[in-house]
């Protein structure tokens, strides 16, 4: 009951997996909210083998019912949630006029709608818990727009604005809201979308760097006003 608990969306790989591992290494229990069962169960097994309490919950963040189930499952298992990390994201690059409508809608559904839905579900279930936090994984493309990433930029600008507005709305409640804005991170998603070569990978940000920033905010080792958006550039 005294062990802190983090719920991480998109925790099956990339930044999400690194974040789940970082929380577990700091003694937290972890709810792995992941769409792909194979990835989610793999992370759950990996964490439990290290002695960390972990629970995989199949989760589609674009579905309100699915995110409600994830929050309820975490609370049933651990009786509390201390940090919700909205990390799940998708990216398809290309000129807006030629971008498939399905890709446009999926980015809006996962990156922005998913962050809104998970935050809403957590707030509805944890409104009496006291102090806890929401951390949204945005991007440098949530601060600066570039061509061929129009929809992705729109979603990440939205996440930064959502963070600031929700923090203002929750002033005085004990709930803190932050965003982290990494540059190009060495993940499968980024490599596929951007076309990074093996040689270029050495200059990318490691997922573990983003994970450390998230855990530092959640654990209070990094102090910042609610609503702030932090750059992670190395």
**Active site residue ranges:** 152
Query: Where is 42: in which H helix or E strand?
Result: helix 37-49
Confirm if 6 and 82 have CB atoms less than 8 A apart. yes
The overall longest dimension of the chain from CA atoms, in Å, is 52
Q: What is residue 87's DSSP assignment?
A: -
Confirm if 50 and 23 have CB atoms less than 8 A apart. no
Q: Which residues are CB-contacts of 194 (< 8 A; sequence separation ≥ 6)? A: 93, 184
Query: Which residue in this structure is represented by tokens 């009786």?
Result: 79
């Amino acid at each position: 009951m005294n062990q802190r608990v983090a719920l991480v969306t998109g925790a099956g790989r990339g930044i999400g997996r690194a974040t789940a591992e970082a929380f577990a290494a700091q003694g937290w229990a972890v709810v792995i909210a992941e769409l792909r069962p194979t990835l989610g169960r793999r992370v759950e097994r990996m964490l439990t083998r290290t002695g960390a309490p972990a629970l995989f919950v199949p989760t589609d963040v674009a579905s309100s019912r699915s995110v409600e189930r994830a929050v309820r499952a975490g609370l049933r298992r651990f009786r509390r949630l201390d940090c919700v990390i909205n990390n799940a994201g998708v990216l398809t690059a290309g000129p807006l006029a030629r971008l498939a409508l399905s890709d446009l809608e999926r980015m809006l559904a996962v990156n922005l709608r998913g962050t809104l839905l998970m935050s809403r579900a957590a707030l509805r279930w944890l409104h009496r818990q006291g102090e806890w936090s929401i951390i949204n994984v945005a991007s440098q493309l949530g601060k600066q727009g570039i061509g061929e990433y129009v929809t992705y930029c729109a979603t990440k600008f939205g996440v930064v604005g959502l963070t600031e507005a929700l923090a203002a709305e929750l002033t005085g409640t004990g709930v803190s809201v932050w965003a982290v804005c990494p540059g190009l991170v060495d993940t499968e998603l980024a490599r596929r979308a951007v076309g990074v070569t093996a040689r270029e990978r050495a200059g990318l940000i490691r997922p573990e760097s983003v994970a450390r920033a998230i855990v530092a905010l959640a654990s209070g080792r990094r102090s910042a006003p609610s609503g702030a958006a932090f750059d992670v550039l190395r």
